[in-house]
Amino acid sequence: MALSPYDELHIYYLSGRLDAGSQPFAGGYLGNWEEEDTSFLFFSRPAAEKVNALLAGQPHLNLLDSFQMTYEQWQGARIEPMQIGGFELRPPWWQGGENPPCENPRRLILDPGLVFGSGTHPTTADCLMALETAFSQNRPETTLDLGTGTGILALASASLGCRRVLAVDLNPLASATAARNVSANAMTDRILVVQGRAEALIDCPAELLVANLHYAVLEKVMAAPGFGKKPQVILSGLLRSEAKAAKERLQQRGFRIDRSWEHEQTWFTLYAVSASF
């Protein structure tokens, strides 16, 4: 029987960000998701005393709310082994944490932790299918993964034979989760995870760009000079009207749409190839 370390989540929603260098809490602390000027502290057991002590020491923080839910509720699905295309995804805790030796190079150990990219969301699954398409047509040596979340698409690129992958996420909890997954798959020689903004790193040269991001960021990514220099791009996280706008933008930037995926007419993923490639 599989036991997730995240069974029960106790979440404390604070206004303000913790002081740099704040010590992680002992016992049951899972991580801190910071967004704008708010923080979500995650624990595997009740931690009101710890949070009160934190607030006393850092008076710029305020407790706005607290929640309790199961990990399944947080992730929106039960996290268990799954197959997407040729990829086999396995949480590290499956079968008591042991992953039996396996011949499939596309079996990936993936601990989604508290961030996006477990494989259960249609945009992630469609990006994995798009990666298989891109690698079957023109195997890229380098990939830029913008908005890496758990690192799932970076791991998938490396497992398809990509030699160097730069995986970027703005959120420190996501970049830490991705780095942990890269280590768990012994891919630190091929994947570098950095915490940073997609808009700032889009000009890094790469033969393939994969970006599953919200449209406000994708618009900036598509406008950057370095975007037009990518031979192949996969864009996802697109709602229907956004997909239409993204197709037009891609064509203006010299790409032809090679293939697209959609899920219930809601989520769209585009794979495009530079006309000069």
State the residues that interact with ligand SAM by CB under 6 A.
115-117, 123-124, 127, 146-149, 152-153, 168-171, 174, 197-199, 212-213, 217, 237
Report the nearest approach of ligand SAM to the CB of residue 176 (Å): 11
User: Which tokens sit at 184?
Assistant: 């768990």
User: Which tokens sit at 196?
Assistant: 């940073």
Contacts of 24 (CB under 8 A, 6+ apart): none
Cα gap 149→174, rounded to integer Å: 5
Report the nearest approach of ligand SAM to the CB of residue 124 (Å): 3
Cα gap 50→66, rounded to integer Å: 13
Rank residues 61 and 155 by Cβ distance to ligand SAM and give the closer one: 155
User: Which tokens sit at 227?
Assistant: 């975007």
Report the nearest approach of ligand SAM to the CB of residue 222 (Å): 13
Rank residues 4 and 143 by Cβ distance to ligand SAM and give the closer one: 143
Rank residues 55 and 184 by Cβ distance to ligand SAM and give the closer one: 184
Rank residues 40 and 116 by Cβ distance to ligand SAM and give the closer one: 116
Report the nearest approach of ligand SAM to the CB of residue 196 (Å): 7
String of DSSP letters for 96-107: GG-----S-TTE
The total number of residues shown for the chain amounts to: 277
